[in-house]
């Protein structure tokens, strides 16, 4: 090997060594991750809100083998009864909570009784059904050990739902849960306006 070739080899090794040293000495830059919050449209999410309410309500309760549960409608705390003339975006929330909690209780292993079941199938011109609100058509109610029910406290932007499980014999509240249900679950708030104490849907001017 000539002196010139030896010099070039030494120079090349020095350059490569410096380059590799620089690469290993520079720490990797952390990659910033940005979490983008996607706005969730409330409309149609009543099932999810009911699921969250049920999670809290049944958190400390386990289904007993022979216990039977009756789920009733949720009513406004002031009147304690459903008002069909009430004009609110959440006016049907009490009925929805009853049906939703029947589903949630059954999924969790609780035995829910359908106390609106009739003795026979009712056949009309346009439907067949086995559920009714007429007392004379209902079948006898079996033993009920617990009631699942609650109240609604209406507010400007929705309703506060207070659910409870009540021992039918002692009337003790064995479990309770509270959750806010926004008005946008059933009506888009941007399309609701109030005139003379009544609510009206408005067209989108955009």
Q: What is the pLDDT of residues 92-119, one digit of tens each?
A: 888 899 999 999 999 999 998 877 767 7
Going through the chain in order, the beta strands assigned E by DSSP cover: 68-71, 75-76, 111-113, 117-123, 128-131, 146-155, 158-167, 173-182, 192-195, 198-201
Task: Give the separation between CA 160 and CA 178, rounded to whole angstroms.
Answer: 7
Token output for 160: 């506060």
Mean pLDDT in residue range 28-51 = 57
- Give the pLDDT of residue 187: 61
- Give the pLDDT of residue 183: 83
The answer to whether the beta carbons of residues 161 and 51 sit under 8 Å apart is no
Q: Which of 133, 127, 103, 131 is nearest to 117 (CA)?
A: 131
- Give the pLDDT of residue 14: 53
The yes-or-no verdict on residue 62 having pLDDT over 70 is: yes
- Give the pLDDT of residue 53: 96
- Give the pLDDT of residue 188: 57
Grade residue 138 by pLDDT with cuts at 50, 70 and 90.
Answer: low
**pTM exceeding the 0.85 threshold for the entire prediction:** no
**CB atoms inside a 10 Å sphere around CB 146:** 24
Q: Which of 184, 165, 183 is nearest to 173 (CA)?
A: 165
Per cent of the chain over pLDDT 90 is 31
The yes-or-no verdict on residue 26 having pLDDT over 80 is: no
The yes-or-no verdict on residue 46 having pLDDT over 70 is: yes
Burial class, 50, CB count within 10 angstroms (exposed 0-12 / middle 13-18 / buried 19+): buried
Do the strands 128-131 and 173-182 form a parallel or antiparallel pair, or are they unpaired? Answer: unpaired
Per cent of the chain over pLDDT 70 is 60
Task: Give the separation between CA 176 and CA 150, rounded to whole angstroms.
Answer: 9
The domains of the chain, with CATH numbers, are 46-201 (3.40.50.10610)
């Amino acid at each position: 090997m000539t002196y010139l070739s030896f010099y070039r080899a030494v120079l090349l090794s020095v350059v490569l060594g410096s380059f590799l040293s620089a690469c290993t000495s520079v720490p990797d830059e952390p990659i910033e991750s940005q979490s983008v919050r996607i706005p969730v449209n409330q409309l149609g999410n009543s099932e999810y809100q009911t699921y969250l309410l049920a999670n809290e309500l049944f958190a400390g309760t386990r289904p007993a083998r022979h216990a039977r549960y009756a789920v009733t409608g949720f009513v406004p705390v002031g009147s304690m009864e459903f008002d069909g003339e009430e004009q609110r975006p959440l006016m049907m929330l009490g009925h929805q909570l009853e049906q939703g909690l029947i589903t949630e209780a059954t999924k969790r292993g609780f035995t829910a009784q359908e106390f609106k079941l009739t003795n026979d199938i009712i056949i009309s011109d346009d439907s067949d059904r086995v559920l009714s609100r007429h007392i004379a058509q209902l079948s006898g109610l079996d033993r009920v050990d617990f009631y699942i029910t609650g109240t609604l406290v209406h507010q400007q932007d929705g309703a506060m739902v207070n659910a409870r499980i009540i021992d039918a014999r002692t009337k003790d509240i064995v479990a309770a849960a509270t959750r806010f249900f926004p008005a946008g679950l059933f009506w888009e708030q941007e399309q609701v306006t109030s005139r003379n104490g009544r609510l009206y849907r408005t067209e989108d001017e955009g």
